[in-house]
Amino acid sequence: MNTNTISLTNISKIYRTPRLDITANNNITLTLSPSEITVLIGKSGCGKSTLLNIINGLCIPDTGVVTMPEGFTRGGSHLNSECNSTCL
């Protein structure tokens, strides 16, 4: 694997509410290369923003691993296991 790639392996994110669980992302595996353009397309509420928030470190996935290039910084002290409800 190229050391400049962003790699997502088996990423899942589930929003848990008292009434039901909402699966935003289910078992996503993806490699993003700096030499390619990647587009996320889907209906409203299908998990596009959640996936981007996981990549940039604003959300922690329930399962899976995000691997970043060496020296790449994600998120910050605000990193939280629960995404803001606007991620839905």
pTM: predicted TM-score of the whole model, two decimal places = 0.79
pLDDT at 85 over 50: no
To the nearest whole percent, how much of the chain has pLDDT over 90?
Answer: 67
pLDDT at 13 over 60: yes
Model pLDDT for residues 14-36, shown as the tens digit of each residue: 999 999 999 999 999 999 998 89
Model pLDDT for residues 45-55, shown as the tens digit of each residue: 999 999 999 99
For the chain, strand residue ranges (E) read 6-16, 21-32, 63-67
Helices (H), 1-88: 48-55
Q: Is 86 helix (H, G, I), strand (E, B) or coil?
A: helix
Q: Which two tokens stand for residue 81?
A: 């296991």
